[in-house]
Amino acid sequence: MPSKGIEAAGLVREFKGGVLAVAGIDLHVAEGEIYGFLGPNGAGKSTTVHMLTTLLPPTAGRATVAGFDVVHEGPKVRKAIGAALQEAALDPILTGREHLRLQTALHALPREERKPRSDELLERVGLTGAADRKVRTYSGGMKRRLDLALALVHRPRMLFLDEPTTGLDVQSRSALWQEVARLAKEDGVTVFLTTQYLEEADVLCDRVGIIDQGKIVAEGSPAELKASIGRPTVDVVPADHEQRDRVSAVLAQFGELTQASPHGVAVLLSGDEFGLADVVRALDAEGLHVEHLQLHAPSLDDVFLAQTGRTLEGAEQEQQTELVP
């Protein structure tokens, strides 16, 4: 029996001219999970979302969403999902309320439910006051919130969010994170989210798939992924730069010395037995004064680096360079 979440096997999408946007991905997203798809621009995130939401037929492979085949059971898939795509495709001429009116009609909500549901969603996304204004007067954050409300009108079991916070200010971003987390926790909605922000994937997602050049290069919970590539580093800059050798001797007890900041000494902590506090105590015991001390825990960017040989930012720049002739 197919899963009620998302299942994909060998999903491929090739565009005209042989451009391979998605090069065979396998996915398993459980019901009620928040799954993050992390990768630079052009990695194949949106193409994958378009295939999973029935907007684009795959060239090869198969996928089921909410238990329905995306190629052969499109209408059932669409009934089960809500989606807010990358470009908040809104009609500038319509008001927020009119958008909801249209969306409730498209989803064939019973007439008596349409207005209360619209009002409820407008309130939930904080747009009640702006509901009767034309969308062309909305800010980017307001458009995103309206887009989210539109995706929720028919109470979908699954929500696809394609880069929902790109271009948003910090406040709008955190408000949207809260709402997504609430939807998953309280309403049991499965969320498939694409992002290029490490922090977003880290904070919001139960599991993360890292995608690069159309392939998933790593997958797991943020903690698992970070743990998989290594241990934390402690970087110490002594107050007296002449004492670097003494600091090196102390740090060497905790693991392998590694590349450090200028005037500093760094150690890659070995195993789980040592922590930052042990290092501080040892330095103190030797009477060494410290100008700067930093614990660097592995990030998802380090995971990306380990898997692809590039940082996310570097991959982003590569992408842009490719676009400029």
Partner 1 sequence: MTSDGFRSYRSVVLGVAWRTVHNALTTPNLVIPTLAFPFFFFLAFAGGLSQLSHLPGFHFPEGYTSFQFVFVMLQSAAFGGVFTGFGIARDFEYGFARRLMLAAPHRSALVVGYAVAAVIRWLVVAVLLTVAGFAVGMGVGGGGVELIGLYGLALIVNSAALLWSAGIAMRFRTIQAGPAMQMPVFLALFFAPVYVPLSLLSGWIHAVARGNPVTYFLEAGRSFVSGEAAYAGVAFGAAFALVAFFGLWALRGLHKAEAAGG
Shortest spacing between CB 217 and partner 1, in angstroms: 24
Among 87, 240, 256, 286, which residue sits at the site for partner 1 (rule: CB under 8 A)? 87
What CA–CA distance (Å, rounded) separates 177 from 98? 26
- Phi, psi (degrees; rounded to nearest 5) at 251: -65, -30
As to burial, measured by CB atoms within 10 angstroms (0-12 exposed, 13-18 middle, 19+ buried), residue 282 is: middle
Query: Residue 92 carries which side chain, given as an amino acid letter?
Result: P
**With binding defined as CB under 8 A, does residue 83 bind partner 1?**
yes
Q: Is 98 among the residues that bind partner 1 (CB under 8 A)? A: yes
Residue span binding partner 1 (CB under 8 A) among the ranges 81-89, 180-188, 196-204, 308-316 = 81-89
**Nearest to partner 1 of 160, 254 (CB atom):** 160
CB of residue 301 to partner 1, shortest distance in Å? 30
Residues of span 45-64 touching partner 1 by CB under 8 A: 50, 53-57
Instruction: State which of positions 13-52 bind partner 1 (CB under 8 A).
Output: 50
**Among candidate residues 206, 170, 201, 211, the one with its CA nearest the CA of residue 185:** 206
DSSP secondary structure code for residue 243 in this structure: G
Q: Give 307: exposed, middle or buried? Use CB within 10 Å, 0-12, 13-18, 19+.
A: middle
Helix-then-strand count for the chain, H and E: 12, 14
**Whole-angstrom Cα distance, residue 260 to residue 279?**
16
Are the beta carbons of 240 and 265 closer than 8 angstroms? no
- From 106, 239, 252, 297, residue interacting with partner 1 (rule: CB under 8 A): 106
What is the token pair recorded at 288? Answer: 């060494």
C-beta of 101: minimal distance to partner 1 in Å?
8
- 221-260 mask for partner 1 (x: CB under 8 A)? ----------------------------------------
For partner 1, the binding residues (CB under 8 A) are 50, 53-57, 75-76, 78-79, 81, 83, 85, 87, 89-91, 93-94, 98, 101-103, 105-108, 150
